[in-house]
Structure 1
Amino acid sequence: MNRLDDRGTYPIREFARLTGVNPVTLRAWERRYGIIRPERTEKGHRFYTDEHIQHVRHILYWLDQGYPIRQVKLLLKDGQENSGNNNDDWLNQQQQVIRAAQHLNTQHLDELWNAGFSSYPLAVYYERCLSPVLHFLRSSSTPLIVTHAFEHLLKRKFGAMLLQQQRHNKGPVLLLATNHEHAEIETLACACALGAAEFRVEYFGPQPTPSDLGLTLTMIPAANVWIHFHPLIPAHQQQWQDYFSHCHVTHFLSGAAPDTQVQHKTLIRLPDQLSRQVRTFITGNNTEKNTDNNAEKHTHNGGFH
């Protein structure tokens, strides 16, 4: 582990990996909201402690309850839930994004997204703002060109973020997949949330068949596979059952994952919320990574497995 010393202190990139909160958001929480105060080295570099990890868990707890970041500081101070409507801020953000989308104002959309991504962990911002906006645009009388443009721009945004993240991320590969194009945006959001925690993510587009995934696993050294499911049609059920019965790599399943006919230790079902799915994956893999690092400490290898 990339600690500054043996007292349990971490530089910002390592802390981001451990918590799943990217460095840009950590700096915003410090400067703009004052809800986290890192320590400083003699040269002025930020570092964090195990106490900061617990503090971030408390912040994420309140965000999971739907509170906007501007209210979290008071909640951390007194621990009492606000009796007011904690959804007002999120509704305001959703309405701003919808208005920008309806006017095809791409520059303003990008500004709103950048502000959201800097203030919140990406999975939280997706759940509380972008997912409700997508649902509204897809289910309302919004012209199709507006909905399609919004989806295209958001996919492009996530794709650019993922490409930038993966230039620096090392370690075991997570192969990410979804069985339906309608679930692609959420899958890309998941990829970027994991990329912010320095996981090496590979995503090759929507709708791979079980055979496609099996072939892909012969080509890349994936340590884990994460499949986000849209509801399956009956004709595809047995194909996935056969695939699961023969898989040897650990698979994480989210969304409308099919019920498996056999219990298999390589299949792990994730919670419903994207933010909790990401956190569950990060926590489990950080535990494994730390164990591996300790085992290899005297080999000077510095890698995984």
Structure 2
Amino acid sequence: MKTRYPIRAVAKIAGLSPDTLRAWERRYQAVVPERSERGRLYGPEHIERLLLLNQLVQRGHAIGGIASRSDEELRVLLSRQHSQSVSVPTPPADMLDPMLAAIENFDTLRASDELSRLAAALSPRDLVYQVVVPLMREVGIRWHNGTLAIAQEHLVSQMLRTLLGNMMRLFRPLNPAMTMVLSTPAGESHEFGILAAAMLASLAGVDPVYLGPNLPAREIADAARRTSAKVVALSITFWSKTTQEELNALAAAMPEGAELWVGGEGSADLDLTLLGHSTIRIKDLPALETECRRWRN
């Protein structure tokens, strides 16, 4: 049985008010939901289309001029605009203060509620850039300075892993441009960066196969081969001799024709010149989005 969502949930996910969503349906037939005794019901295909429409409207398009276009036409139009520039939303300075206060007090319920509130109020892409990435950075700084304990860092890890995992499943593209395997190499246990990358890749029209962190090269290469992945994306936080060796082994075992993308703060210290493979260094998350849209185009 297909999953269906009520109008208020879909409006929040798409970044619209329920009134705006109703107006788009009534005036322009932007989407045609199912009807039941409980009211309008929407599927993942409706959500994906509404996200496309809303992103284009935010970039200056009139809804009346784009509502009749097919999903593929909307993606092409959005890709053309993204190829010109990939903007990164800036979060308000105090947005994370309530959540950080809850984390400091080990108030798991309050921290989860605050994260859920932000997830409902923001679009998925804005959630990654305005909440997930800044929160990861701030928690890392406080842990390094000794103001947060390892247990508190683990609390945040679990919250974000659950949130991003659920969102990846919800926003998996219906007609992906290609499949991408995402992981971190053996010895690299930090997974926030690659989780955020998987979420953004999904929003950019890629089918992400997220394997989790700390995997041997042979396991990553085997997963890429079994899924016919066109790209393997790795996130590396710290350079080490082991990381370089794992990267070399992965490049040697990669499926023919697949690309290897390497990002994260530690990637700048890796030697990618001797890999003998189609390897791209991804300097940041906007660069990852740009490369994903290259495949979409």
Structure 2 residue aligned with 1:147: 153
CA drift at 1:245: 3.8
Please state whether the residue corresponding to 1:202 is helix, strand or coil.
strand
| Matched residue count | 239
Equivalent AA in structure 2 for residue 40 of structure 1 = G
Aligned: 1:282 with 2:292:
yes
The equivalent residue for 1:75 is none
TM-score by length of 2: 0.65
The aligned counterpart of 1:135 is 140
Corresponding position of 1:262: 274
Does structure 1 residue 230 correspond to structure 2 residue 257?
A: no
Report the CA distance between 1:231 and its aligned residue. Answer: 2.3
2:99 counterpart residue number: 97
Structure 2: gaps (5+ residues): 1-29, 32-47
Q: Deviations over 1:207-260 (max 9, x none)?
A: 111121232233221121111123243245334324324533211111223213
Give the alignment of 1:1-305 within 5 angstroms. 23-24=50-51, 27=54, 30=57, 36-40=60-64, 60-61=86-87, 63=88, 68=90, 90-102=92-104, 103-104=107-108, 105=110, 106-117=112-123, 120-125=125-130, 129-139=134-144, 140-166=146-172, 168-179=174-185, 182-247=189-254, 248=256, 249-255=258-264, 256-257=266-267, 258-260=270-272, 262=274, 264-271=276-283, 273-279=284-290, 281-287=291-297
Contact 1:39 1:48 in 2 (8 A): no
Identity score, percent: 13
Tell me the SS of whatever aligns to 2:92: helix
Q: Deviations over 1:136-169 (max 9, x none)?
A: 4433422443322221011000011112223735
Let me know the Cα RMSD of the aligned residues.
3.6
Question: Helix, strand or coil for the counterpart of 1:187?
Answer: helix
160-169 vs 203-212, which moves further = 160-169
Shift of 1:123: 4.5
CA contact 2:182–2:234 (8 Å) conserved in 1: yes
Q: Distance in 2 between matches of 1:169 and 1:57?
A: 20
SS in 2 for 1:183: coil
Q: In 2, distance between residues paired with 1:93 and 1:186?
A: 20
Mapped to 1, the partners of 2:92 and 2:51 lie a distance apart of 20
Distance 1:25 1:42 in 2: 10
Q: Normalising to structure 1: TM-score of the pair?
A: 0.64
Q: Letter of the 1:277 partner, please give it.
A: L
Distance change (3 Å), C-alpha of 1:125 and 1:198: same
Native 8 Å contact 1:38 1:48 kept in 2 = no
Query: Structure 1 counterpart of 2:294, which letter?
Result: G
